[in-house]
Amino acid sequence: MGTADQMQGRDQPTPLDALVRDYAAKVARGSAHSDEMLLPDGTLRPVWADFMAHLAGLTPDQIATRMGRGNQYLHDAGVFYRQYDAESREREWPLSHIPVLLSEAEWAEISQGLIERAELLDFVLRDFYGENTLVNSGQLPPTLLTKNPAWLRPMIGALEPGEAGLNSVSFEVSRGPDGRWWVISDLIEAPSTAGFAIENRIATSRVFPNFFSRAKVLRLAGYFRQFQQTLLALKSRVEGEMVLLSPGPMNQNYAEHAFLARYLGMLLVEGEDLAIQDGQAMVRTVDGPRPVSLIWNRVPSLMTDPLELAPESMLGTPGLLQAVRDGAVHTVNMIGAGVLETRALMAFLPSIARKRLGRGLALPNIATWWCGQEAQRAHVLQNAGAMMVGDAFSTRPLMADPATVALERETGDPATARLVEMLETEGHNFVGQEAVTLSSTPVFEDGAFRPRPVCIRISLGRTDDGWAVMPGGYARVSASDDAKALAMQQGGKVADVWVLSEAEVAPQTLIATEDTLRERGSSDQMLPSRAADNLFWLGRYVERAEHHMRLFRAYFARIADGAGHDDPLHAYLRTRLLPDTPPEAKAIADHFTQPLELSLQTAARVTDRFSPDGMMALRTLVHDARDLDRRLVALDDIPGKVSTLLRQITGFAGLVHENMYRSHGWRFLSLGLSLERAANLAGLLAACLDDDAPEGALDAALEIGDSIGAHRTRFLISATGASVADLLGLDTANPRAIRYHITRAKDHIAKLPQKGHGHILSDVAARILTIETRLAVSAPENLTSEELATIRYEIWGVCDALNASHLG
């Protein structure tokens, strides 16, 4: 069966040999380097043969469609990273859909080298904070520590004898032009790898579902299961919770932190969630403070304790270092481990390895020379053409550092002359590194395969049986032929890495089980106070936005009908409900666009507790509201546009009540919605039931209170003060009534942790009950403007009490 489209090239599969020939020609055009898919002679590496045969059977359009499935997964799962540009926006996860394939044998070789390196680095770390034998025996120049801001003096002596300093590390490796693998960088402090690897894997397996399910790809879940055992063992040394300490949502890798915390059953916290009480690390939760026994630290070491380290840090916890030194709390990697990322250390690791292991490193790192030694400096200057030079103490990989200088001596270039002079006078501040050439791997762009520079990031975790290596999952692929464009911030992409086994892959590690670890752990019922506060405010902001949208629509519907801004009702509504607001559409719209923006920011702080669907709905809503904001000119259109937004925001509230698991987190979100709505209705009624209210205020109240239909059903008369007070104030069945939401809030508060003692109600429970009672015993005609103003004030009192008891 044919269609007309089949005549076009994008619908024709490319034969395998043509595909390989075409790709080989592109590889050959670049400078001399290895390629992951092709052998030096231009033929396919055996490990790629099946996969490429599979791809060759697909048309470019089919491949593109499959890639779309991967993107859809990432989008739905809410996998984003943060672009550090002026707006610091979230961006789609930049997946390159073609995985990098490696044979199990080659992988085993890389793994052995990395395990050796992890163990060596742990030895070096323990020495740096312990005996200092490396300095004392002359293997390492002392200023590499004493002038190094990453060597944290308060941690000296903190490790117990035999205690590991490292439990989790990542490395970046690359295949050199000679085919051998090299370590490019040691990622110790907070490498983004493991969590994103899982997302890469799930997305890529959806791109190639049939091939993946029969290919013998080593699965990732086993690694996490092993590492979780390590975490549990570390935790068990002290009584308490496991937390993952994140710098928060402004960090590029926050999505990974949220993912790992969920996946491993840890509580996701920020520095301000933790406090040191009586020498013990505690996490502030809605249940009160709970002890913490293990911290997986994703905050840079220097920022972990403003009392003893960087004083300006807002990310840390005062007193944490003392608690760590006292052994009252443990960290996965010791605080201060980041010193291992010091670039100049790479110049000394080979000789440290020879001394300790009796042989060189199985997997060498990039050749590095410290310019503080005369012979090394001379070597750098003599080989200037093949060198990059940079700050010896930097912890960024040299090739990824914009401050790196290629040291090619051009005659008469003053900058180069200055650099040479600096190497002579301040050599100990500089290192030279061999300029690396990365291997290339295929990406699929514009209907064809193209080679791009690639390096592989590999995660290792310590287990009872030694170091476990996560079998693949994460490669960084450059955006262009330039290896410097690897970073996502510069448009680089990320790909899955498949390690293909020769044996059958064990069935228990199929993709379905990648999710199973999520179920463990107690993190769902343990809610940090900060997260509860954010959820509470999320509810309040969304409700505040909705209320003001209704107000805005009612106001402008009348304007569209020919009323003026200065008509009595309009002037009255502005004075009473929109203080200090000029009679302009933009200014009045700000009353809902601003809470909407705030709601999105607030939601972003609790992505681990909030459903991806909810996030997506909120993003769309904010996006559409921004759109409206820009086009606020055609007055006639405004009510219609706002009605569309209102449908969306009502949908969001529906999502909260229909789709969210009934956790404490949900309860705070729902509480925020109810208390805000009750307060806004009280304010609205106080204005519209006032003796001074102009003609039409009662109808406006019904409209803003979304109860015109309900009023018609219940009263069959035109609105009176009593009928409006009854329907929007006292009705227990109207979800647009104060009473309805006060009762709902009371029920939520009754189910919160830290209830009162015995028969004595907590402050917050007593306050909400007082309000409910006031409403319950009130007749409609007694619900005066003054009474409503008091009720509104008392609702804020509930919020304050809640803040003091659960959210602070």
Partner 1 sequence: MLYNIRLNITHRYDQPAAQGRHLIRVLPRNLPGRQRLAMHLLTVTPELHSRRETFDFFENTVVTCVHSEPHDEMSIDLSCHVEVSDPAPWSDLSPQVHALRADWRKQIDLGPDSPLHFLGGTQRLTPDAAIAEFARAWFDPERTAAENVLRIGQALHDEMAFDATATEVDTDPAEAFRMRGGVCQDFSHIMIIALQSLGIPAGYVSGYLRTLPPVGQEKLEGVDAMHAWVRAWCGIAQGWIEYDPTNATLIGSDHIVVGYGRDYSDLAPVRGQLRSAGGQVNSQAVDVAVLD
Q: Is 142 in the site for partner 1 (CB under 8 A)?
A: yes
Residue 807 one-letter amino acid: L
In the bound state with partner 1, the residue whose beta carbon lies nearer, of 245 and 479, is: 245
Structure-block tokens of residue 556: 């402008």
In the bound state with partner 1, the residue whose beta carbon lies nearer, of 110 and 145, is: 145
Which stretch of DSSP H or E encloses residue 460? Answer: strand 448-463
In the bound state with partner 1, the residue whose beta carbon lies nearer, of 156 and 420, is: 156
Alpha helical stretches, state H, 426-528 = none
In the bound state with partner 1, the residue whose beta carbon lies nearer, of 142 and 491, is: 142
What is the phi/psi pair of residue 703, to 5°?
A: -70, -50
Residue 304: CB minimum distance to partner 1, A: 13
Residue 371: CB minimum distance to partner 1, A: 15
Residue 405: CB minimum distance to partner 1, A: 18
Residue 87, classed as helix, strand or coil, is coil
Contacting range for partner 1; rule: CB under 8 A; set: 86-94, 140-148, 582-590, 653-661: 140-148
Q: Is 154 in the site for partner 1 (CB under 8 A)?
A: yes
Residue 155: CB minimum distance to partner 1, A: 9
Q: Is 161 in the site for partner 1 (CB under 8 A)?
A: no
Q: Is 384 in the site for partner 1 (CB under 8 A)?
A: no
In the bound state with partner 1, the residue whose beta carbon lies nearer, of 155 and 538, is: 155
Closest among 46, 55, 48, 47 to 16, alpha carbons compared: 55
Considering only residues 320 to 359 of the shown chain, the ones binding partner 1 according to CB under 8 A are 322
DSSP type of residue 38 = B
Rounded distance, CA 341 to CA 189, Å? 8
Residue 795: CB minimum distance to partner 1, A: 23
Distance of CA 138 to CAs 126, 133, 134, 143, 610, Å? Answer: 17, 8, 6, 12, 54
Cβ atoms within 10 Å, residue 665: 25
- Interface pick for partner 1 out of 90, 308, 514, 546 (rule CB under 8 A): 308
Helices 345-357 & 104-128, crossing angle to 10 degrees? Answer: 100
Q: Is 778 in the site for partner 1 (CB under 8 A)?
A: no
Residue 271: CB minimum distance to partner 1, A: 11
In the bound state with partner 1, the residue whose beta carbon lies nearer, of 414 and 579, is: 414
- Interface pick for partner 1 out of 393, 536, 556, 592 (rule CB under 8 A): 393
Rounded distance, CA 346 to CA 394, Å? 12
Residue that is written with structure tokens 């990098």 in the block: 100
- Interface pick for partner 1 out of 60, 249, 300, 319 (rule CB under 8 A): 319
Closest among 45, 48, 56, 54 to 17, alpha carbons compared: 56
- Interface pick for partner 1 out of 153, 418, 662, 712 (rule CB under 8 A): 153
Rounded distance, CA 538 to CA 524, Å? 18
- Interface pick for partner 1 out of 318, 583, 651, 797 (rule CB under 8 A): 318
Residue that is written with structure tokens 């949900």 in the block: 666
In the bound state with partner 1, the residue whose beta carbon lies nearer, of 136 and 713, is: 136
Q: Is 147 in the site for partner 1 (CB under 8 A)?
A: yes
User: Any idea what the Cα angle at residue 525 is, between residues 520 and 526, rounded to 5°?
Assistant: 100
Considering only residues 107 to 136 of the shown chain, the ones binding partner 1 according to CB under 8 A are 132, 135-136
Considering only residues 588 to 617 of the shown chain, the ones binding partner 1 according to CB under 8 A are none
Rounded distance, CA 352 to CA 343, Å? 15
Contacting range for partner 1; rule: CB under 8 A; set: 41-49, 176-184, 300-308, 658-666: 300-308
- Interface pick for partner 1 out of 8, 12, 88, 146 (rule CB under 8 A): 146
Structure-block tokens of residue 767: 């306050």
What is the phi/psi pair of residue 606, to 5°?
A: -130, 35
Q: Is 138 in the site for partner 1 (CB under 8 A)?
A: yes
Residue 393: CB minimum distance to partner 1, A: 8
Question: How many residues bind partner 1, per CB under 8 A?
Answer: 28
Considering only residues 266 to 285 of the shown chain, the ones binding partner 1 according to CB under 8 A are 275-278
Cβ atoms within 10 Å, residue 85: 9
Work out the burial of residue 413: count CB atoms within 10 Å of its CB; fewer than 13 is exposed, 13-18 middle, 19 or more buried. exposed
Considering only residues 16 to 55 of the shown chain, the ones binding partner 1 according to CB under 8 A are none
Q: Is 148 in the site for partner 1 (CB under 8 A)?
A: yes
Distance of CA 70 to CAs 55, 94, 496, 612, Å? Answer: 16, 11, 12, 16
Q: Is 306 in the site for partner 1 (CB under 8 A)?
A: yes
Give the footprint of partner 1 on this chain (CB under 8 A).
132, 135-136, 138, 142-143, 145-149, 153-154, 156, 275-278, 306-308, 310-311, 318-319, 322, 393, 808
